[in-house]
Chain A
Amino acid sequence: MFDWSFVQRYAPFFVNGALMTLFICAIGIALSLVVGLICAGIELARIPVARQLVRVYIEISRNTPLLVQLYFLFFGLPKLGVVWSAETCAIVGLGFLGGSYMAEAMRAGLEAVPEVQRETAYVLGLSPWQSIVRVVLPQAVSSAIPGVVANVIFLIKESSVVSAIALADVMYMAKDLIGMYYNTYESLFMLVISYLVILLPISLFGLWLERRFDYERR
């Protein structure tokens, strides 16, 4: 019934797929953090026009599926003369989608710092910079981390659609093996294991990080 030799033979495929998934996600998530930070900054600083643009971006990015974003980038944009590689499209797609989620998480983190904390810093004579670095940011990071971690896991999961633009990630391997050798069972088994191996440590690390930065629990 279950063909272990098939699993042994093709396990390396999934290792490669997992590396591709991790590669795309690492860069895509880094990009999303940068985009999120910029957007959260613009919103908090209330920069007039940029702020409206950020709102529009966030609405568009949150309300469209990544798959459609990718199809548009990969198949649509070349008609405008912009030909990006599949990797670029996937990274840009993840950054575009994740940026809005990260922005919201970071903004929520900053807003969670009570005003009286800034006021206390002011009354104690701290400069605005000292107040941000020593008082506001440490607390904001602490309350933003759970949201950011959840987004990281969300983005890794979402990245499973990059197989649709021929990127050889975990999902791609599973489909490929099913299509070539029809060992559906074994392929699905390796698919599930691969995602567990990628995501379980990350989500445990996330829990540890949350605890580490939670001033009330460490």
Chain B
Amino acid sequence: ACGPSAGTPSDSASGSSSSAKAKARTLDEIKESGELKVAVFSDKAPFGYIDKDGKNAGYDVYFAQRLAKDLGVEVKYTSVDPAARVDVLTSNKVDVVLANFTVTDERAQKVDFAKPYMKVALGVVSPEDAPITDVSQLDGKTLIIAKGTTAETWFEKNAPNVKLQKYDQYADAYNALLDGRGDAFSTDNTEVLAWAKSNKGFTVGITKLGDEDTIAPAVQKGNKELLDFINDEIVKLGEEDFFHKDYEETLEPVYGNEANPDDIVVEGGEVDD
């Protein structure tokens, strides 16, 4: 192990060994090492963030903890930027990515996705006094996005007239929106809804954009053993309505009763509509 810790569990990046093979670890190797290395967001409340005490928390984290518990190991978190999610897997910096990772074709070529545990579409949040309610309104305007998100890909492909202002990190993107550096911000609708609820003066003018997508855990390409384990786990957890519980613990405090959990949560890996 190399490197000191900044006191948060999320910095496993600096706690893990600094060099290893880029080949994924087997289930046995994970169990033997006693820890599951998971990539999560550290600035995307309420899905993956650092709370006031400096601890990782959120919907993804709740799942990660359970996954590790059922494996009989501890979790080691690595915080990632959206754009780094594929590379942390290909270079074997983590075993699993649980960072609101939307399943797309491009990504599926590089990593293996397990069964989904959430569903999303894109949403657009904008200031209340100049709301954006349709994509056409964005023509010639500046849209803030985070690099490496599905929102980026969607707007690059479908809205060539929108000026994109891209940040490495969600936190920077939100700050930019607060400081009025762009006309709107787009990312997963779950995410913008949550954010608009807790930030006065902002509204989600577009709640559903593009295809409905799913969010799933991802492992390194070809790591079938771990993939199968996670798939089994998701099916098993579906029987106990685990993700609804997760929702109650982490998302409900934010969304309150305005949202229907079934719009977000996927149980047992089965998207029902």
Direct A–B touching, Cβ under 8 Å: yes
- A residues with CB within 8 A of B: 75, 78, 83, 85-86, 163-166, 168, 172, 175-176, 178-182, 184
| Contact assessment for B147 and A175 in the assembled complex, using a CB-CB cutoff below 8 Å | yes
- Does B179 lie within 8 Å of A78, measured CB to CB? yes
Q: Report yes or no: B167 in contact with A166, Cβ–Cβ below 8 A.
A: yes
Query: Interface residues of A: mostly helix, strand, loop or mixed?
Result: helix
9 interchain pairs, CB-CB under 8 A: A78-B179, A164-B168, A165-B172, A166-B165, A166-B167, A166-B172, A176-B147, A178-B83, A178-B148
Tally of A-B residue pairs with Cβ under 8 A? Answer: 58
Q: Which residues of B contact A (CB under 8 A)?
A: 81-84, 86-87, 90, 106-107, 109-110, 147-148, 152-153, 156, 165-168, 172, 175-176, 178-181
Name B149's closest neighbour in chain A (CB-CB): A179
**Shortest distance from the beta carbon of B35 to any chain A beta carbon, whole Å:** 26
Closest to B87 in A: A184
Contact partner, A179, options B90, B147, B172, B180, Cβ 8 Å = B147
Which residues of B are found within 8 Å of A166, using beta-carbon distances?
A: 165-167, 172, 176, 181
**What CA separation (Å) do A195 and B180 show in the bound complex?**
32
Query: Least Cβ distance of B83 to chain A in Å?
Result: 3
Whether A180 lies near B148 (C-beta < 8 A) is yes
**Residue contact B152 to A164, C-beta cutoff 8 Å:** no
- The CA of A172 and the CA of B168, in the complex, are separated in Å by 9
Return the chain A residue nearest B148 by Cβ. A179
Q: How far is the CA of A190 from the CA of B195 in the complex (A)?
A: 36
Are B165 and A182 interface neighbours, CB within 8 A? no
Query: How many angstroms between the C-alpha atoms of A179 and B83 in the bound complex?
Result: 4
- Please indicate the chain A residues that have their CB under 8 angstroms from the CB of B148 in the complex: 178-180
Q: Is the CB of B166 within 8 A of A83?
A: no
Give A141 to B180 CA distance when docked, in angstroms. 44
Taking A175-B168, A179-B147 as given, write out 14 further A-B residue pairs in contact, using a Cβ cutoff of 8 Å, ordered by the A residue number.
A83-B180, A83-B181, A85-B181, A86-B181, A163-B168, A164-B168, A165-B172, A179-B81, A179-B82, A180-B153, A180-B156, A182-B87, A182-B109, A184-B90
Docked complex Cα distance between A159 and B39 (Å): 29
Closest Cβ of chain B: how far from A32's Cβ, in Å?
A: 25
Q: How far is the CA of A175 from the CA of B82 in the complex (A)?
A: 11
Question: Given A176-B147, A179-B82: A75 and B165 within 8 A (CB)?
Answer: no
10 nearest CB pairs, A to B:
A179-B83, A179-B148, A78-B179, A179-B147, A182-B86, A166-B165, A182-B110, A75-B175, A166-B167, A176-B147
B179 pairs with A175, CB closer than 8 A: no
Q: With a CB–CB cut-off of 8 A, which chain B residues contact A164?
A: 168, 172
CB distance from B156 to the nearest CB of A (A): 7
The reply to whether A182 and B166 contact each other, CB–CB distance below 8 Å, is: no
- Residues of B within 8 Å of A163, CB to CB, are 168
